[in-house]
Amino acid sequence: MPATEFERDVSATLDELAAWISKAYPDAERRGVGDHLITRRGAVLELVATPGPERRIALLRLPTLRIRYRFTAGDAEDRAALLSRLDLFMHRGGG
């Protein structure tokens, strides 16, 4: 299966992202600041995050990250399962 790549903007810091990844996938490899490699079953996901512009809502300031997701291996089912678990750990509460 060819590589699949997409980007997302996330309101988080690099440290928060690293914590979410390590909770979802304790065996994930941290290759550098904002650079992670996750392997689950046959799926391999490279994540590269860079800080984005701060979002401001009135007096509230939110850090942002631009995250590039790149699957380099795995079938659609394995990729979806990997991403679903990661998304669950990255989800913030709310009403």
Q: Give tens-digit pLDDT for 38-82.
A: 999 999 999 999 999 999 999 999 999 999 999 999 999 999 999
Is pLDDT at 95 greater than 90 in this prediction? Answer: no
pLDDT at 1: 58
Which structural domains are found in the chain, ordered by start?
Answer: 4-90 (3.30.1370.80)
Question: Which segments of 1-95 are extended strands (E)?
Answer: 4-10, 29-32, 35-40, 43-51, 55-57, 60-62, 65-73
CB-based burial label for 94 (10 Å; 0-12, 13-18, 19+): exposed
| Mean of per-residue pLDDT scores for the chain | 93
Contact 36, 18 (CB under 8 A): yes
